[in-house]
Structure 1
Amino acid sequence: MNHLTDTVADTSPVPRLLSTALAGCSILITVDRRSGELTSALERHGASVQQAAALTIESHIDDAALIERTQQLIADPPDVVVVTTGVGFRGWVEAADEAGLSDELIAAFRGAQIVARGPKARGAIQQAGLTADWVAESETAAELGEYLVAEGVSGKRVAVQHHGSGADGLDELFARHGAEVVSLTVYRWGPPPEPAVVRRSVRAAAAGEYDAVLFTSAPGAEAWLSEARRAEALDGIRARVADRRLVMVGVGPITAEPLAAEGIEVLIADRGRLGSLVRSVVTYFGGGNAPSHVTSAGRLELRSGGAVLDGRVISLSPTGTDVLAALFRAGGAVVSRAELQKVLPRSGQSAHAVEMAIARLRDALGVPDVIKTVVKRGYRLTVEDPL
């Protein structure tokens, strides 16, 4: 596992590879909870993973109040149980278990209508040995609230487990329609564990050091974007995404909303679970969905630290990567020496420097003919699918 912070050498066993679909990919994950599980899953497909948790989860924020309301629900079981997050519901059951009340709490829920705000919440319900009667397909509190109001909540006792911000409007909505509401907030979002790491991660994303950034919650996505704004890195990130050099991946449509609001395209996992998130990334890079060209030496794809040519992962210097990216974007068209000079460091912006950069790039690729010299004009990739 790689981290943005300095660490001692990792002597843990190398995970068994399931595939090399993510070989050469540098991936940033912005989550705190279950980050180890997600990292291991990505590494099993060959990825290099870095972590920069944008938020932390402060669980069991008021154990005394949580246990008191749990006891109230056991004594007077609810008619409806609303589960808005998987982590929150699991945390609630764990807190009840620590207090010796989990069996009684689950028994109190067995006669209730249980509704879930999305698949992660449903998974937590199933893990507790219960069954969700209805799941909001949009994963929004608004859809969940509309459904129950249409069903009728007047005179019913409704237990609502809230997400981290605790401000979804469900308590007020149900109360207005005559329900007796028992409200529980099991956790809240807290500040990032290492703010400096998050700050470095947004700058690194703008500089092209990652191939993908993964998000598992809307608050986490918004917190990471907020740091990008403060670091004046958002425009660079947006440009990388638009150029398809960076992929932003969300676990579901709600998670993607803060990114979409910034005009940033998001790859959304088919199902709102970590396994689906990993499969989406693997399918994108390993299933032929990443930008590519068919060259005289095979399929060519760019990576943040180099390229993949005919299945070979080739590490390149930042300059080599930038030069190859300029040729890649042209898609077989000629790129002039003057244009290539613009991507070189200022100390090397000369015709001779371009020639040297091309020579080093050819050597690294191991197939000189992939980059063709066009006399008096510049250079181009020898692609079989020219733009």
Structure 2
Amino acid sequence: MLRVCSFESRRAVEMRSLIERQGASATVAPSMKEIPIENNETALAFGQQLKRGEIDIVIFLTGVGAQALLDVLQSRHTLEEIQNWIGRTLVVVRGPKPVAILRQAGIRVDHRAAEPNTWREVVRLIDDTPIPVAGQTIAIQEYGQPQKELARSLEDRLATVIPVPVYRWELPDDLSPLEEAVRRTVAGEFDVLLFTSAQQAVNVLEIADRLGIKDAWLNAARQCVIGSIGPTATETLDGLGLSPHLQPSHGKMGHLVLETLAFAKTSCR
């Protein structure tokens, strides 16, 4: 039986079920939590800029972030006002999750980037459509960390970029499951490691470093089959010297589990 470790947090129960349905042993160690930014003056200022018609394009990157931003705006404005103000802009989304949130809020979506839904696909969409950005003011709903590559690419195309952060990532309150998973990795107790975000890899390595076993964890992880949800996570893992063995055909948890475990079943014989 394959021994699989995932570092999923928000959908930990679903991840465990997906792994076990493939006949594998599942360890799920939450590695991060999303913290809404309280008293978000930047988001509130963005609302005022929308109201004054100073924003030309809004880019929504995540469903959680889109909902958080709408919640902040609705603390000061009515939904109808927000609908009208955003309706005057061109709305671009990175993937399916913000589409669902925006449609539920009655907000039109003009363009959606193709899979695998990274910042590169957003830029490619802008170039190919083409969406004129030179001289335009573009607001980017950020998530967890600054979207430097996307902002730089838009600025290279002579746009003015306004980042709108709505939540940040931190380590979970209870670190014991993650610490145990790190130690068990070093002990060689896992065949497969699954990463569904770049930040998971960063946080896992931070815990390994705190425990004084960073190099040992990296060496042990390289003996495992590593599955990465998509290009952003893969870039981070590559930078850590942990090149994934597999990136699924679609950036979904189900595809990640199914395809990585199918690969592992042949390679771990």
Instruction: Tell me which interval the TM-score lies in, with the shorter structure as reference length.
Output: 0.7 to 0.9
Q: Does 1:267 align with 2:242?
A: no
Equivalenced residues, count: 261
The verdict on how the C-alpha distance between 1:153 and 1:249 changes in structure 2, with shifts beyond 3 A counting, is same
Structure 2 gaps of 5+ residues are: none
SS in 1 for 2:265: coil
What CA distance in whole angstroms lies between the structure 2 residues aligned with 1:211 and 1:127?
41
Distance 1:235 1:96 in 2: 46
Q: Does 2:142 match 1:162?
A: yes
Q: Give the alignment partner of residue 257 of structure 2, picking from 281, 284, 289.
A: 281
| Counterpart in the other structure of 1:216 | 196
- Please list, as runs of the form range in 1=range in 2, the aligned pairs for 1:175-214 lying within 5 A after superposition: 177-214=157-194
Kept after mapping to 2: 8 A contact 1:218/1:258 = yes
- State how far apart, in whole Å, the 1-side matches of 2:263 and 2:218 are: 28
Q: List per-residue Cα deviations over 1:107-152 (Å, max 9, x = no partner).
A: 3333432223345555555555543514154544355346547743
Residue pair 1:77, 1:109 contacting (<8 A) in 2 also = no
1:3 is matched with which residue? none
Paired letter, 2:142 = H
Length-normalised TM-score, structure 1: 0.56
Segment of structure 1 superposing worse, 70-79 or 198-207: 70-79
Residues of 2 paired with 1:288 and 1:196: CA distance? 30
Instruction: Please name the residue that 1:112 is paired with.
Output: 89
> Is 1:52–2:29 an aligned residue pair?
yes
CA distance in 2, matches of 1:163, 1:252: 16
Cα distance 1:166–1:101, how it changes in 2: closer, same or farther (>3 A)? farther
Distance 1:270 1:109, change over 3 A: farther
Alignment partner for residue 4 of structure 2, among 24, 27, 38? 27
Offset, 1:258 = 2.1
Q: Structure 2: which amino acid aligns with 1:165?
A: Q
Paired with 1:46 and 1:56, the residues of 2 have a C-alpha distance of: 28
Structure 2 CA distance for aligned equivalents of residues 127 and 48 of structure 1: 38
1:291 is the counterpart of 2:269: no
Conserved? CA contact 1:116–1:136, under 8 Å: no
Quick check: 1:141 aligned with 2:119?
yes
Residue 321 of structure 1 corresponds to which residue in structure 2?
Answer: none
User: Which residue of the other structure, out of 256, 275, 289, is the alignment partner of 2:234?
Assistant: 256
Structure 2 residue identity aligned to 1:144:
V
> How many percent of aligned residue pairs carry the same amino acid?
27
RMSD of Structure 2 on Structure 1 (CA): 3.4
Matched-pair contact (CA < 8 Å) for 1:250–1:269: yes
2:51 paired with 1:67: no
* Secondary structure in 2 matching 1:185: strand
Q: Alpha carbons of 1:170 and 1:283: their partners in 2 closer, same or farther (altered >3 Å)? A: closer
Provide, for residues 238-295 of structure 1, a one-character-per-residue CA deviation record: whole Å limited to 9, x for no partner.
Answer: 12x2xxxxx32222121122223314333223222xxx3223323554x586127xxx
TM-score (structure 2 length as normaliser) = 0.77
Asked if the contact 1:60–1:91 (Cα under 8 Å) also holds between the matched residues in 2, the reply is no
Equivalent residues of 2:93, 2:109 under 8 A apart: no
